[in-house]
Every structure is written in C-alpha cells, then in structure tokens.
Structure 1
Amino acid sequence: MRKLRIHPLRFLTAILLFATALVVSRADCVAAETLLLTDERLAEDMSLDSAVRDGNWTPPRIVSEDETGMPAVDETFSSGIHEEIARRRGERLIDRVTDPTSWLMDLRMRQNWSWPTSTGDGDSQSVQFRPTIPFQAWGTINILRVTVPYDVQSDDGAGIGDVEIFDLLVVQESWGRWGVGPSFRLLTDANDDSLQAGPAAAAVTKNRHWTVGVLSQNFLNDDASQSRIQPILAYKFDDAWSVGIGESEFRYDWGSDRWSQLPLGIELDKIVDVWGQKLQLFVNPQYNFARDESNSGWTLFLGLTLLVPEA
C-alpha cells in the first residue's frame, strides 16, 4: 500500500484557515470586551445592581458538605494541582525546552535530510510536524505528543508517513520527574494490522546547567514490534543557548532481534524572541552506526519550534 498522499499546498491552506478561525474568534471576544468597557449603558444593564433591581438575581444557597447528594469537594487536592502547574510554568524556558516531561505547549517543524553510505541508494527527505500539548485530567498532569511525518522524497514516493502518539502521566519527585503512559503508531503503508501500541516511560533530572534522562517508547503488534530508547543529555550555557545529543533514538527490532538504528549526534539549540514570540532554533547532524537497506548513514535535522510558555 502506498503512503497516504496529501498535497502540501492544500495541507498548508488548511492550517492557515484554522489559524485564521482562531484569530477571528479571538478578535470577536476582544471586540465584545471592548464594547462592554466603552458602552456605559450596556455595562450598567449587565451589572449586579441592575440584576438585583430587576429581580433577575438569586443569591447562592449555602450547602453543607454532609447534605444528601452533595459530596465534599477536595479543594486542597485541586489547588495543589494548580499550584504545581503554576510552578512548572515558572521554570526557565531553556529548562522546559530540554525536558520532554515539562509543562510546555509547542509546535515543532523539522526538516530531515538523509544520505546513504553507499552510492547505490538514493537520498531521502522528509518534514516532521510535532505538536506537544500539556493538560490536566483527573488530577494528573499529562503530556500529549503527536508526530506527523511527511515524506517529500523517498522510495515509496511523497506522502504522510507513520503517525506516532504518546501520552505521559507525569509525577514530580524530589530528584526530578518520571512519567508513564500509552504510545501508539499508525502505519500508513501496512496491508493488514495498521496499529501498533505499547507502553511509554520517561525519567528526567536537571539542575541549572544539566538535563539528564531517558525516554522510551514501544510499538507492538502481531506483525512487527519495535522498542525505542532516547537518551536525554543537554548542557545549558545560559537562558538561551544549549547543546546536547538531540533526539538520538536507539531502535531495537524484536522481529529480527537486532538494533535497526544506533545514531550518535550533537544538537545546538537557541531560544530567540521574534516580535514577542518565543522560538527554538536547532540543528542536529547524526550518524547511524546500524545501517541497512532501510536507513542511511548521515542525517541532518534542521528546524524550529513555536513555543507557548504561557499556555
């Protein structure tokens, strides 16, 4: 089965339309707020005094916790989660960028160029879109990541590659953070079983200059199984510059009982401010020591990440 084909222009058009809809909706909210602030008569009509005068306001009823049908709310637990989220938002941005378990919403766009070590194989090129969304559910902090690759140049032609998803439930410890959750992989070129699933786990510790940890994902089904281990190592020079090994994923194929990817590389990161918007710029060359007919020796990763630290 060939890869799912999506025209790049149509894909970018859809993104622009979505962004325009968000801007328009935000503009409507701002306009409504401005009208309320500038129109004194409208503000007076919507005031509490006006509601009491017209008989449209009912004071809230005080309910005791032991009343039937009204369970007590654990306000301490709820406030603790919000305090933890606020504390994580207060971390340095460079610490959050180098830590995959941190509370940071972002959208990463990465260009990949791969060159084979033998002259008989062709080059390959792909673009990767990866949004990361932190959220709180059932009193637990979650980190959701979706990776969507688009193959620009490959043996199977252009089209969307395998989509990967994981959701980590992150726990804070005195030494750092750890998280566990499910991981999924949607195979676009599979004939039968197009879904792989398995556990994901991460553990990260850091100080002012170092970030050290590991991230593991496992994709399993009846046809093929693969484990990925990503060591995390970064040195932060200041609040803007850092250097590390990047996303060097060691991949083990359980079907053939061998390592299918053993990369080694170095990544340089820079956080910049462009018209009030925080961006991460990065470059990461890697060399793969486990080469076969399905991968190459040298790969260059180049891209940027749109950071939303206030979200």
Structure 2
Amino acid sequence: MIESFVKQTQPLPWPEPTPTSSVAPIPTVVPGSDPIFQTLHDTGKRTLWVVTVLMGISSLVFYVLGARVPISKRVFHTLISLATTISFIVYLALATGEGMDFKLDTIKEHNKHVPNTSQDYYRQVLWLRYVLWFLTEPLGLISLSLLGGLPGAHLLVAIAADYVMLGSGLLGIYAGHTSRRWVWFTISAIGYLTTVYHISVHGARAASNKDSQTRRFFGTISGVLLFVKILYPVALAAGPLSLKVNVDVETILLAIYDIFSQGIIGYWLLLAHDASPGITLNVDGFWSHGIGNEGAIRISEEDGA
C-alpha cells in the first residue's frame, strides 16, 4: 500500500511547451474583385425623355414665332430653332439608348500589410452629347455676338476655345484613371476661361457702343449663360473623371445646362427681340433677298465673238 501511495503522490508531468506566433492570421485577399458598373437608371432615363419633350415643344414654338416676323428679322429665330431642333434629335437618340458606350477605369489600391488590389469600373458615357454641343455651341455664341456686336475675330477665337473645352474634356474621359485625365481637364478649363474672356470682356466692350437697354440685356443674358456653362466642367470632374458622381446626377446637371443654354436663353432672347426695338436685328441683302441680278455682266457667244 505504501508503494502505491507513493506512486499516486508523485507530481504529474507537465505538457511540453509548443511554439507560438505573435503574428495574427493574414487575411485572404483576392485581387481583382467583381467589376462595378456605373450606368443610367430610371432617374437618368426619365431626365433624357423630359429634355426630349421640352426641346421638341420649344422647336415648334420657335418656328411659329419666326414665321410671324419678316425674314430680315428672323436671324435669332433661325439660330435658336436650329439649336433646339438638333438638341431634340440628339436627346431622342439618347433616350432610346443610342449614342452611348462604356469606358473602363482600373483603380489600384496600395495596401501596407496585404497584397495590392485593383478595382475595375465600367462607366457609361453618353458621347452623343458632344456631337450636340459641337453643333449647337457655335449657334449660341453667334447669337450673343450679333446681339452685342462682338467682332468676328473675337467670335472665331471664342468658338475655337469652346471646341478646345469640349474636345479636351472628351479626351480626358477616355484617358483612364491616370494623371493624364487631369491634364486634359486643365486644358478644358483654359478653353472655358478663354471663351468667358472673349464674350464677357470683348463682348461687353462692343456692346458699350449700343443703347443702354441693349447693353444691360447683353450683360445679363451673357452672364447667365456663362455662369450656367460652368456646370460642364463641374459635371466632368465629379463624374467621369473622378467617378464620385453617378451617371444619373451627371445627366441631370448637363440636362439643366442644355435647357438653360438652348431653351430658356432662347425664349428670353426672342421675347426681348420682339418687344424691344433696340434689340431687334434687321438683316437685308443675301439673307433676305438672295443674290440679285443687279450689276451682273452678261456676255453672249455672239458678243464674245
């Protein structure tokens, strides 16, 4: 019994120590997760249809207003009607799903303790809008120039700068998520500021030679147009360049710009044109009567012989 008691009172053996690690488990990271698609939703699609209807109705109204005045006083009516008609056609195409494609932006994230990851963004681009602006922006600038008496040299530079603004913005959209996109955005902003300079400074200087009513009206309408025009670089930077704003918000911002620059400004200009004799533009010559036969020299075959 003593021997058995001694055996039971002997200390039990301790387990052998096992090596441990102070490093926490490394999370599993799978680079290249599912792509994110930024597309139009119901809000953006409804916005396109609303602008289509507004531009269609405005075109009909402008054509009716133009038919009520003589041809010599129809210059503004023609320019504005052309702009809203082109806008109606383009927005109708966009509303029915045409004039769009996708651009791919790959954003790489550098992590400190885990492998780097990348995320693909497919964003819908309504490129047909740029065709609209390339056709209608000069018409609006010509209307302002005729109203304020801006010289043709400044008008040409303003139109060229506006094309630089639009073209650089489009190139920036397709430059990918690289620093190049901000270079194109800077060029686009310079084009915008150049257009503002020629219309606001040189245009105001030219309008100072007109009556006080025309000067005030030109300053107000050009100021509103150039202020609303800033919606383009804002929507460009926040939307397709930085991917911070979705396509619906971008569509709404640019729709507001088109409604103001082509619709509201058009109504404002035509109503003032019909109500104020000082703003009325009267153009004769080829615009009203074509090429006449006065002063033409005719030489028949017999006289030439």
- TM bucket (normalised to shorter chain) is under 0.3
Question: Which structure has the larger Rg?
Answer: 2
Where relative contact order (Cα < 8 A, 6+ residues apart) is larger, the structure is 2
Q: Which structure carries more strand by proportion?
A: 1
Could you tell me the TM-score, scaled by structure 2's length? 0.25
Q: Which structure carries more helix by proportion?
A: 2
